[in-house]
Amino acid sequence: MDFKFKHRKNLKMGLTPKEAALAFCRQCVPSFKERQNCKGNKLLDGTVCPFYPYRTGKGRPKVKDIRNNCKQCMNGQWALIKNCVSQKCPLHSFRLGTNPNRSRSGANQINKGVNTPLNKFRGF
């Protein structure tokens, strides 16, 4: 990845969806001034760029928006999206519509040790 995000505390963690969308925009339009004036709301093929509202680094894109972009890139073929080999694409880790930086068992880990009726029922 060519782009560095200085505010990241944990360097082992991958990009956030916001950082990935911004890095994708930077690949398309490198200059900030050009990104501000980007006409990505209408692309050459007549479609709308899903990252147009986030081009200046404001807002937070949904992971589903990233998946839809991958779907458009791979002509809607799920097998191609799943087996995508484009490792240099900043959106690659979000292509399946999930955030790899989030754990699925986070709610259970947070509530362990807390004395609540639900945790008593669970046996914590």
Give CA–CA dist 1/15, Å, rounded.
Answer: 10
- pTM exceeds 0.75 for this model: no
Q: Retrieve residue 109's tokens.
A: 């880990």
* Residue-wise pLDDT tens digits, 44-91: 667 778 888 887 778 888 898 899 888 888 888 989 999 998 888 999
Length of the chain: 124
Q: Retrieve residue 41's tokens.
A: 């709301």
The radius of gyration computed from the CA coordinates of the chain, to the nearest angstrom, equals 18
Helix ranges (DSSP H) in 1-124: 17-28, 32-36, 63-73, 78-82, 106-111, 117-122
Pair 94, 66: CB distance under 8 Å? yes
Domain boundaries, the chain: 17-99
Give CA–CA dist 116/97, Å, rounded.
Answer: 33
Mean residue pLDDT across the chain: 76
Give the mean pLDDT of 14-33: 85
